[in-house]
Structure 1
């Protein structure tokens, strides 16, 4: 069994989609227990990117404690593609807890023009610290040098082997170079990274695959629809064809609630709108400048609002944008174990919980044809 440990829920869903695309049976969980399901790939979604460093370390160590007793497993650590979060602390804890002698970290996604060349991270040929990631409220990119972002790591050029007892961040400017770096993974190596790396990891000859599935399925469930846009930079969706075809409403967060006023009246308005329409879109609608404290309060508001609505009536389709928001929503609903239904597009995956389809979309990914 391959165990994927992800630091946010949309990243976990992305890995589940990659496994499904490769013809593997997949299960998706947000809490670990002693009895792991019988499957080819088990994806564990955590929210450690939003935790404190110590909380993230404790969570990873807790998971490793369960896995230490299991045989015939291999572990893949999903990290943020631009190294946000407590990447080094989690990798060092996991490697030490599970007895790996080296770690190979390949976070880049060349298929999305995210590359590392000579130890420098680029997005669309622009150094990372000159992109919008420099404005991230929790982990702003202040440099593009991967050794400075992930302090304590070492850069690994194509012609070098991994250093023992270190986190080695490999150069790779295209998929073929990434394939070379993945080829350095041995039995004593913890491998970590993003979707492109995981896809290549699954292409090893020792992994038995079934027939595979269509990697892009542009279908959407019918019934009442609830869309939660957890990003402060989310664009309006109400003019998209899907929402024009049915009775729809889009509700933004009032400015006073955004800045900390009580949310009771807003929640009442959401309940009325949800009852009156077939589809409801909830978005924040304002750009946050208050850093992590603002981000945490906003996602708690969004998750509380979502749970309140769903406790009144479950939708046929729940769409959540943003990893931290998605994890908060699922926790507020006490939904922990999911089937993986389909991959709508790379990085955008549909899970199921009971009669509800759940689509999780990373905040930085486009909506594509989802609501056409």
Structure 2
């Protein structure tokens, strides 16, 4: 078994999609089941949304439980741009696992995310000058890798071909795909590997060496009810909106009154969810989103926002049972699936890198497609028929 602990749900789904390509029996779960027989077990967490101390405690316990399954390898899925509590969590994994060494490889060269001479570049510019600088939760204020990790100069940072120690936490630079392969070759049975999807893909290629050619999604039947959930204003400017439609799918925006209050006024809550239900019944496809203009100059607590999204989607599903949920953003996905009491999923199809359609254990009526907030929705999801 290969075991993965991911710091958010969409990252977990992304790795599950990669596992599909390598014929691995893959499971995404939020808990560790002692009788798990998966080839690839991915434990999804929401630690990126927690405080650092809470994240450390949670991953320590999960790591202890995962190690009881005696996995062949432990992989830590982190954000490629080092958002979250990367160093704190990796330290906790190392302590709980009993392993000697952790190797952190930031970036994802295939997506233009590279580390050269201690500096993180996104599309050839320092990351703090990119749109990652306006991330609502973890804005990039520096492109120095140690600073991004909230570490001091004592954290070892190595280039390829430099001798690395046998113990402790090590950060490796990667300017290209071959660098990722080099670092994988340096890991041994006493090493936790921490990185993003590109590194994991190269790891499976190194271990298994067989991969399917990705198939283009096909369409076979009409969908009864499909709800898109955009839980943040981040990156929304890239969607062309015409007459409250995005790619011919109607959009229902959350009122500012629902966003700005600690508690949602009941009449507004019922009015908004009722509008979404009516749109679903009429059009079958609907997007709920936050209009970027209404939040300018206003602080919206991200934790409260995701909880509200979860409650709203749960209420909509009770009134008009959904067949497809398409969710953007890991924290939003976590809150929604928690409200729907969904804890165990399995990958059905990778629609594009990072965009994964998931089935739900014990529920053949609903499928969930998950996507990181920084990725694009692929063209197939905008069709009015469901994908198979």
TM-score, reference length from structure 2: 0.87
TM superposition shift of 1:216: 4.6
Q: Which position in structure 1 is the counterpart of 2:319?
A: 312
1:278 aligns with 2:249: no
Which of residues 347, 363, 369 is equivalent to 2:373?
363
| 1:1-372 alignment runs, 5 A limit | 1-36=1-36, 38-150=37-149, 151-152=151-152, 153-204=155-206, 207-208=207-208, 212-219=211-218, 222-223=222-223, 224-233=225-234, 234-235=236-237, 236=239, 244=248, 248-260=249-261, 262=265, 263-264=268-269, 265-286=271-292, 288=295, 294-353=301-360, 354-370=364-380, 371=382
Q: Distance in 2 between matches of 1:159 and 1:114?
A: 20
Q: Distance in 2 between matches of 1:198 and 1:157?
A: 19
- What secondary structure, in the 3-state scheme, does the structure 2 residue paired with 1:318 have? strand
Contact 2:351 2:378 survives alignment (8 Å): no
For residues 124-155 of structure 1, the C-alpha deviation after alignment (integer angstroms, 9 at most, x for no partner) is 00101111111222211111111121115321
TM superposition shift of 1:361: 0.9
TM superposition shift of 1:166: 2.8
Q: Distance in 2 between matches of 1:168 and 1:310?
A: 46
- What secondary structure, in the 3-state scheme, does the structure 2 residue paired with 1:158 have? coil
Q: Distance in 2 between matches of 1:230 and 1:219?
A: 27
Q: Distance in 2 between matches of 1:35 and 1:249?
A: 44
- What secondary structure, in the 3-state scheme, does the structure 1 residue paired with 2:186 have? coil
Q: Which moved more, 1:2-11 or 1:302-311?
A: 302-311
Contact 1:320 1:326 survives alignment (8 Å): yes
Q: Kindly report the root-mean-square deviation, in angstroms, between the aligned alpha carbons of the 2 structures.
A: 2.3
Residues 161/219 of structure 1: CA separation in 2 closer, same or farther (3 Å cut): farther
Contact 2:260 2:300 survives alignment (8 Å): no
TM superposition shift of 1:41: 0.4
Contact 1:321 1:363 survives alignment (8 Å): yes
Q: Distance in 1 between matches of 2:39 and 2:163?
A: 29
TM superposition shift of 1:168: 1.5
Gaps of 5+ in 1: none
- What secondary structure, in the 3-state scheme, does the structure 1 residue paired with 2:141 have? coil
TM superposition shift of 1:312: 2.5
Q: Distance in 2 between matches of 1:201 and 1:241?
A: 41
Residues 238/144 of structure 1: CA separation in 2 closer, same or farther (3 Å cut): closer
- What secondary structure, in the 3-state scheme, does the structure 2 residue paired with 1:202 have? helix
Contact 1:104 1:162 survives alignment (8 Å): no
TM superposition shift of 1:46: 0.5
Contact 1:95 1:190 survives alignment (8 Å): yes
Gaps of 5+ in 2: 384-388
Contact 1:9 1:326 survives alignment (8 Å): yes
Q: Distance in 2 between matches of 1:97 and 1:292?
A: 37
Q: Distance in 1 between matches of 2:316 and 2:245?
A: 24
TM-score, reference length from structure 1: 0.91
